[in-house]
């Protein structure tokens, strides 16, 4: 995961250049970035600002030759310095003279490690440097740098996308970047699950039901271990369904021939993106922790390697917009997107499937019943958000995180229900891989009976409001 961060950020820079760069900028930088001969970074965060990008202080002053001189310091710059590529193209957010306060006054600049000559060859090193590399609790293979620009007053940058348009340029790559981070959560959870299964099959401990006296059994025989493994398995499959649906929606939004389909798909993609990013990364941490638990005491020992998944996964809910910010984006922006049509359409589709699964198959009937309860709770929570958010500025933010969990869990259950339905259809048609198809049905049924009931339980926290959050005075929060 640490290594994959480098091409992930390079991909984001490519997207920004394609969307906002001049023809000259595209000619200068794109080919080398696409081939991987050069890599790229995103420079947003500053030590005093954190997630509040609008508070940044990095400056950009115009130069006589049409370029700009950049000065300031950025923190948490992934792959800010390394020797794996001939050049590093930094995309740096900065303020131009007289720019408005907040995010409206931010511009984006291309700041190469080595300046590029007209013939494409590399020129002198730019006035920028890595001040330090952060000592992190995980992703140790990724150099996370503090970058300083313009210490000698000669850091050359090139404006991309026009003045005060920096956030729009950055948001061009946000959907893909946040989906990719959600995919990281899925990937690390799946790897942790694979290792947990391998260990549970090999580790012998305790006597399981049916095991002869005096003989220990593989821990996979024990009910609680099975519960942990099935929880991991069902979540991983639900997460995979979600990120694939999100990715397909993005593809159609950008490439479908029908403009109406492109618009609908972009609405769905934007709605699903905070779910993919936040839910899958929260679960990446939770399931990596579960994998440690499956290993027991050996999970806390470095030599098993499972602890690395836990440490590495912990950054995922934080970067590319903390999961709290994803939840605020969901209730503050995405519920009102296109007049609320993407939300209404998705909930209606889930409700239709829940009622349409009833039939002769007992497994689908169980899934249908639990999915119906979850969709009903989600509809009630969504209606509450629409009714209360305009009147109380703290109401929606107070319930945003549990609401996102509600929404994503329901979508996960819905997609697994679809997979179970399809599996039964394939089985009836004579598909030979019966064990695989049966496992799909069992996994969906487990999610429906063991995970989906959490959705209705979250309705209370979502609709409680903010009064209790502020009932204790700030100075009295210290115990």
CB atoms within 10 A of CB 333: 12
> Kindly report the CA angle at 411 between 409 and 412, in degrees rounded to 5?
60
C-alpha to C-alpha distance for 206 and 224, rounded to whole angstroms: 13
Structure token pair of residue 246: 């999100």
Confidence of residue 213 (pLDDT cuts 50, 70, 90): confident
Tell me whether strands 107-112 and 87-94 are parallel, antiparallel or unpaired.
Answer: antiparallel
Catalytic residue among 118, 237, 320, 349: 320
Question: Which tens digit of pLDDT belongs to each residue from 28-64?
Answer: 999 999 999 999 999 988 888 766 677 789 999 999 9
Token pair 């080919």 is found at 31
Confidence of residue 237 (pLDDT cuts 50, 70, 90): very high
C-alpha to C-alpha distance for 75 and 54, rounded to whole angstroms: 15
The contacts of residue 246 (CB under 8 Å, 6+ apart) are 179, 182, 269, 272, 273, 275, 276
pLDDT of residue 357: 84
Annotation marks residue 118 as catalytic: no
Confidence of residue 247 (pLDDT cuts 50, 70, 90): very high
C-alpha to C-alpha distance for 414 and 241, rounded to whole angstroms: 10
pTM: predicted TM-score of the whole model, two decimal places: 0.94
C-alpha to C-alpha distance for 46 and 52, rounded to whole angstroms: 9
Domain ranges of the chain: 5-164, 174-321, 337-476
Query: What is the helix, strand, coil percentage profile of the chain, to 5?
Result: 60, 15, 25
What CATH architecture applies to the domain 5-164?
Beta Barrel (2.40)
C-alpha to C-alpha distance for 349 and 378, rounded to whole angstroms: 13
C-alpha to C-alpha distance for 39 and 29, rounded to whole angstroms: 10
List the beta strands (DSSP E) in 79-189.
87-94, 107-112, 114-116, 122-125, 128-133, 144-149, 156-160
Q: What CATH number has the domain spanning 174-321?
A: 1.20.140.10
CB atoms within 10 A of CB 151: 13
């Amino acid at each position: 995961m640490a290594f994959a961060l480098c091409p992930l950020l390079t991909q984001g820079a490519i997207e920004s250049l394609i969307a906002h760069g001049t023809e000259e900028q595209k000619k200068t930088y794109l080919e080398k970035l696409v081939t991987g001969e050069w890599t790229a970074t995103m420079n947003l965060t500053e030590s005093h600002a954190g997630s509040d990008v609008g508070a940044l202080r990095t400056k950009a002053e115009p130069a006589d030759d049409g370029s700009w001189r950049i000065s300031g310091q950025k923190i948490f710059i992934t792959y800010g310095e390394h020797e794996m590529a001939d050049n590093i193209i930094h995309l740096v957010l900065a303020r131009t003279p007289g720019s408005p306060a907040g995010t409206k006054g931010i511009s984006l600049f291309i700041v190469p490690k080595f300046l590029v000559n007209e013939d494409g060859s590399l020129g002198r090193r730019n006035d920028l440097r890595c001040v330090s590399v952060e000592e992190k609790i995980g992703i140790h293979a990724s150099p996370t740098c503090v970058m300083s620009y313009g210490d000698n007053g000669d850091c050359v940058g090139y404006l991309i996308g026009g003045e005060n348009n920096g956030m729009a340029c950055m948001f061009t790559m946000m959907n893909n970047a946040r989906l990719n981070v959600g995919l990281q959560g899925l990937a690390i959870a799946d790897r942790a699950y694979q290792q947990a299964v391998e260990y549970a099959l090999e580790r012998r401990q305790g006597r399981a039901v049916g095991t002869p006296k005096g003989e220990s059994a593989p821990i996979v025989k024990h009910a609680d271990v099975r519960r942990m493994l099935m929880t991991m398995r069902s979540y991983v499959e639900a997460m995979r369904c979600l990120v694939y649906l999100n990715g397909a929606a993005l593809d159609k939004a950008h490439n479908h021939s029908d403009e109406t389909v492109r618009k609908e798909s972009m609405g769905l993609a934007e709605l699903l993106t905070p779910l993919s990013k936040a839910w899958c990364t929260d679960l990446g941490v939770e399931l990596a922790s579960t994998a440690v638990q499956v290993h027991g005491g050996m999970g806390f020992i470095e030599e098993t390697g499972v602890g690395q998944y836990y440490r590495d996964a912990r950054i995922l809910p934080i970067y590319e917009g903390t999961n709290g910010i994803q939840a605020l984006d969901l209730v503050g922006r995405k519920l009102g997107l296109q007049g609320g049509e993407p939300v209404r359409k998705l909930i209606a589709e889930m409700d239709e499937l829940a009622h349409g699964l009833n039939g002769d198959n007992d497994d689908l009937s169980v899934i249908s019943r639990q999915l119906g309860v979850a969709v009903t709770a989600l509809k009630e929570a969504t209606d509450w958000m629409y009714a209360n958010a305009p009147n109380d500025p703290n109401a929606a933010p107070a319930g945003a995180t549990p609401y996102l969990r509600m929404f994503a869990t329901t979508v996960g259950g819905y997609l697994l229900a679809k997979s179970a339905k399809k599996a039964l259809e394939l089985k009836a048609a004579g598909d030979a891989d019966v064990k695989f198809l049966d496992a799909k049905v069992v996994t969906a049924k487990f999610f429906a009976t063991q995970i989906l009931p959490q959705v209705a339980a979250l309705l209370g926290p979502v609709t409680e409001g903010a009064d209790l959050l502020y009932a204790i005075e700030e100075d009295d929060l210290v115990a």
